[in-house]
Chains A and B, each alone.
Chain A
Amino acid sequence: MGGSIASVARPAQTIARQTSEVDFALIGHQESWRAAADVLAVLRGPEHAPLPNDEIRDILPWIPPRAVCHVEVGSIARAQARGLYIDSFIPPDRLEAAYVHENIARVRGAAACAIKAGAKIVSLGGFSSILIEGNFDQLPERHDTVFTTGNSLTVGFIVRGIKKMCALEGRDLRRSTLLIVGATGDVGSGCARCLAPLVKRVLLSARNLERLRRLAEELHADGVEVEIATDLVEKGRQQFSAEADLVICAASLASPSLLLDRIAPDAIVCDAGYPKNLSPSAPMPGAKVFFGGLGQITGGLSFAPDFRGVLNRHPFPDVVHGCLLEGMALALERRFEPFSQGRGFITPGRVAEIETIAARHGIYLAPLYNASGPVENVLHRRPNGREDECILFDAAT
């Protein structure tokens, strides 16, 4: 860090203003200290040395929720939408239940920023939607702003990712046993409803037994074979009677105790958590892991200041989490409505509807990747129509 007055005492800068309308706002937070450090490094600019890690950990928790940058998204249908990325500045190590009230206050503060900016639609990214899932009364008075959890499009991309991975691996979805961890959450239950009719058997895992039973009854009624468990392993004994060969991790927290070594050795695992549910060192030799719920914008995406690859840290350009893409897609469609409102509302029909809207504007499933890199030999579509082949990484993890 510079530290000297001279290092910051340059001529007064002219504050760049964007007076245009705000169609959408994206509320998010950083999933790791590394990501937070990168955001602060961009804000400090190249003329200031990056902050040391201990200073970042000391400073970030005190930053009030606020806009970080302007976002502009384009559509293949020639629509354009302008928005803001607002960070709630939830510290990456404070996502546990102990901080829930503090974090709700942060999300409320971020929502207030979105309303003040005049955003017509707000996507609640990552932990933000979980905190106020199905309880929109906790948001500030909304005026003309509507909120969506964005989870319908996330579910859509998870389901598409599972289907694509099965096709790549030559698996028959109809013979598969699907395990969903975090099954009663908005995303987990949505995935269950979409995929249960397509697989042989479904195993649901979540902490709340009562919600698990309700979801299982709902799926049973549609003729699906379902088992439930509040933990994957209890007292050393595996709780489910069958090994899963398809797994969706949609828990709200990173869960080192998921004990996924009990799944089929060559299982396909979709880590759809934010932050990621699985650590890169999770003991799953042979499993085919990919990060789910991600979409790619092909009509153009820009940030001011330039946070490309910082706010969206993926090995492919213009990849964004589905929950945030939902707000952008609805803004491009000029459909300012609370499309995803929380637990229990995500149905296959609603997922198909938001996917259709997204596709109309060139927002598709992102190329699949995991911590080691891309899991497929992808031809990446460029907005200009060119296709650039990405480097093929070893898919095995």
Chain B
Amino acid sequence: METLIGLNCSTVECNSLSPSAPIWQDVLAQAMTGELIAAMNYTSLSEICDDPEEVADALEHAQIERGHAARFAAEGRKIGVDVPNNVDARHWKRLREAFMGCVTERDFIGCLIVQEIMLESFAVASYARVAKVAPGSLGQTFASIAAEEEEHVDHAMSILRAERALDVQRFDDKVYRLHLDVMTTLAKMLAKECKDGHCEVCHGSCVKPSLFDVSLSAAELRGVSLQQYLKTLDLLGIPGEVTLTWVAQLPV
């Protein structure tokens, strides 16, 4: 897997005088890394699409995600920080591998489930929450990207609902199998404390304890993300009592 922009924590610049700038720097770094992973995922997806229209769609999505990453980088510059990224960071790498597993199996539906149901639920919910507290254009950018990501999800939902209607049991089993891999990793990323060591994206020590300084908290970001995930699964038609058990069994 390629690292699109090399990460070297010691050289990451923070020239801002704002005491909260280093916190936003790490928040932006996570968001930017997520967008770059999404761009890579859509590019990979295009390689297994048979329909030229689907290929074009996937490549267009990849371009949009790269645009999101660029906008996050620009927001960093506005507050005087360089926004690093690391698509090889431990959790992000694992999420990418889960997606690539579906690509290897040429499982188009599996790819949509991972990217649109799981990763985008996390992105939409956490960006929307960050948008509520981030100052000025930073907040506006998070809000506007959250809205665009939500449109992606809507687009995929109709395809996934149709697929589920063909064989409910098979579809739900597939979602559960992917849930165990992807959502377990996301749950660890979203845990209140990083118990497995440094996430390899934050530029210094873990940003989570500092989130309170910008009216955020790791618990809240996890909460909104899992809530959005459950609601998205509801829209797919998977029974609520089933998905509740899935989420209840995730690590904290």
Residues of A within 8 A of B (CB): 1-5, 7-10, 12-15, 17, 40, 43-45, 48, 51-52, 55, 58-59, 61-64, 66-70, 84, 113, 305
Contacts and interface: CB of A to CB of B under 8 A. Distances in A.
A66 B177 contact: no
Contacts of A61: 223
Nearest to A43: B248
Contacts of A43: 244-245, 248-249
B169 interface: yes
Contacts, number: 96
B192 A63 contact: no
A9 B184 contact: yes
B226 A62 contact: yes
B176 A64 contact: no
Nearest to B245: A43
Given A5-B185, A17-B169, A58-B219, A63 B227 contact: yes
Nearest to B191: A3
Contacts of B47: none
Contacts of B219: 58-59
Contacts of A67: 239-241, 244
B195 to A, nearest CB: 7
A272 B100 CA distance: 57
7 contacts: A8-B184, A13-B173, A40-B248, A44-B249, A58-B223, A62-B223, A67-B239
B223 A13 contact: no
B248 to A, nearest CB: 4
A4 B251 contact: yes
Given A12-B173, A17-B169, A61-B223, A45 B249 contact: yes
B173 A15 contact: yes
B223 A59 contact: yes
A219 to B, nearest CB: 44
A40 to B, nearest CB: 6
A85 to B, nearest CB: 9
A84 B240 CA distance: 11
B180 A66 contact: no
Given A9-B184, A67-B241, A69-B241, A15 B251 contact: no
A62 to B, nearest CB: 3
A63 B180 contact: no
Given A2-B251, A5-B180, 17 more contacts: A3-B251, A5-B181, A7-B251, A8-B184, A9-B180, A9-B184, A13-B176, A15-B172, A44-B249, A58-B222, A59-B222, A62-B222, A63-B230, A64-B230, A64-B231, A66-B240, A84-B241
B227 A62 contact: yes
B162 interface: no
B180 A12 contact: yes
Given A58-B192, A62-B224, A66-B240, A15 B169 contact: yes
Contact of A9 (B173, B181, B227, B245): B181
Nearest to B177: A12
Contacts of A48: 249
B54 interface: no
Of the listed residues B230, B234, B239, B250, the one surrounded by the most CB atoms of chain A closer than 10 A to its CB is B239
B176 A15 contact: yes
Nearest to B247: A63
B33 to A, nearest CB: 20
Contacts of B227: 62-64
A160 B226 CA distance: 45
B252 interface: yes
A292 to B, nearest CB: 30
Nearest to B238: A15
The 10 A-B pairs of least Cβ separation, nearest first, read A66-B240, A62-B223, A43-B248, A58-B219, A67-B241, A12-B177, A3-B251, A62-B227, A55-B252, A67-B240
Interface string B199-239: 00000000000000000000100111011001100100001
A40 B222 CA distance: 17
A55 B241 CA distance: 20
Contacts of B192: 55, 58
A163 B153 CA distance: 59
B110 to A, nearest CB: 12
B234 A1 contact: no
Nearest to B176: A12
Contacts of B181: 5, 9
Contacts of B234: 64, 66
Interface in B137-155: none
Contacts of A62: 222-224, 226-227
A62 B222 CA distance: 9
A70 B245 CA distance: 13
Contact of A8 (B172, B173, B226, B250): B250
Contacts of A12: 173-174, 176-177, 180
B12 interface: no
A242 B192 CA distance: 55
A15 B223 contact: no
B177 A1 contact: no
A1 B192 CA distance: 13
B23 to A, nearest CB: 20
A17 B244 CA distance: 14
Interface in B168-197: 168-169, 172-174, 176-177, 180-181, 184-185, 188, 192, 195
Contacts of B231: 64
Contact of B241 (A10, A44, A66): A66
A334 B176 CA distance: 37
B180 A8 contact: yes
Contacts of B180: 5, 8-10, 12
A59 B251 contact: no
Contact of B226 (A5, A45, A59, A68): A59
B242 interface: yes
Contacts of B230: 63-64, 66
